[in-house]
Each structure stands twice: as C-alpha cells, then as structure tokens.
C-alpha cells in the first residue's frame, strides 16, 4: 500500500503543479494545451486513485473526489468537446479552478495529518491554524478564479494554441 500511496501523492503533485501553470496561462490570457492536458489527466487520475484506498465507509475525501470528477467532466467537455465556445469558456475556467482547488484543499488536509509540526498545531483539524490555512487557500483561489475569468477571453479559444 505504501507504493500505491506514493504513486497517488506523485500524481496529485503533478496535478497541482501543472494546474498552477494552467492558472498562470489563464490569467495571462494564454492557452497552454500541453499543460492543460497534463493537468486534466493527472487530476482525473488523482481523484480516481483516491478511491483505491481501503476503507469501510464513505469519507469526506470520497465526497471531494466525486465532486472533483464532476467538475473535471465539465472542464473536459468545455475544453475538448465545446472548444470553449460561448458560456463554455466560463464553465471551463470555473470547473478547472474548482478541480485544482479540491486538489490543494486535500493537500492541506493531508499536510495537517502527515506533517508532525502541522499536526501538533491542529491534531483534530478543528483548531484555528487549520481553519486559517483552509480559509487562506479558499481566498487565494477565489481571487485567482476572478482574475482568470477576466483575463481568459473568448478569443483565446480560437487563437493559435501555445504548446508550452
């Protein structure tokens, strides 16, 4: 199970890292096709592999994983089937940002569980340091989402793709 966990963590980190590059592209009004594909594929893989851990009941992580897969389905449809036309551009930006947020949200949760110094600050994850960390992540993602919606214009969808 340690190998499976390590694989899941690596895929998650790839999803977060590539997602941050995609967000930078959105805010810069650019479409990074290669990075977008990597982000969407690795984030789907993160959510799917999250269901592979042995448990005896539905956990909050399963709910977040399912919500992430729904958001990813919207993002993938908007990007690849609807080609960001019309309202699909907005749907793509919001769904991609939500998917990345879910990944980062879970990373913060896992950090407070697995990193001793953070665990000491919030052993039950109901303490103030945990709430401040999650609220900070939420605020940053709301700001990034607003910036991405404003900067990633509809004409980007028909522009020459950036393969970076």
The percentage of residues in the chain with a pLDDT greater than 70, rounded to a whole number, is 93
Give the pLDDT band of residue 153 (cuts 50, 70, 90): confident
Give 82's Cβ-side CA count (13 Å radius): 17
Per-residue pLDDT tens digits for 14-46 = 999 999 999 999 999 998 999 999 999 999 999
- Say if CB 125 and CB 109 are below 8 A apart: yes
Model confidence pLDDT, tens digit, residues 72-115? 999 999 999 999 999 999 999 999 999 999 999 999 999 999 99
Looking at residue 162, its pLDDT comes to 55
pLDDT at 134: 98
Q: How far is CA 90 from the centre of its chain?
A: 16
- What angle (nearest 5°) sits at the alpha carbon of residue 98, between those of residues 31 and 69? 100
Per-residue pLDDT at 48: 97
Average confidence (pLDDT) over 108-131: 97
Q: DSSP H helical segments within 33-80, as ranges?
A: 33-50, 60-76
- Boundaries of every domain in the chain: 2-157
């Amino acid at each position: 199970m340690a190998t499976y966990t390590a694989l899941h963590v690596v895929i998650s980190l790839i999803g977060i890292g590539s997602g941050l590059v995609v967000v930078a592209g959105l805010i810069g009004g650019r479409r990074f096709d290669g990075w977008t594909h990597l982000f969407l594929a690795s984030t789907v893989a993160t959510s799917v592999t999250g269901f592979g851990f042995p448990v005896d009941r539905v956990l909050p992580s399963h709910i977040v994983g399912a919500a992430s897969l729904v958001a990813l389905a919207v993002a993938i449809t908007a990007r690849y089937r609807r080609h960001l036309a019309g309202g699909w551009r907005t749907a793509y930006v919001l769904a991609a940002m939500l998917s990345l947020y879910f990944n980062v949200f879970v990373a913060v949760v896992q950090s407070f569980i697995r990193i001793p110094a953070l665990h000491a600050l919030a052993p039950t994850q109901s303490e103030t340091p945990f709430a401040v960390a999650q609220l900070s992540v939420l605020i940053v993602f709301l700001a990034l989402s607003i910036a991405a919606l404003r900067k990633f214009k509809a004409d980007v969808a028909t522009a020459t793709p950036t393969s970076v």
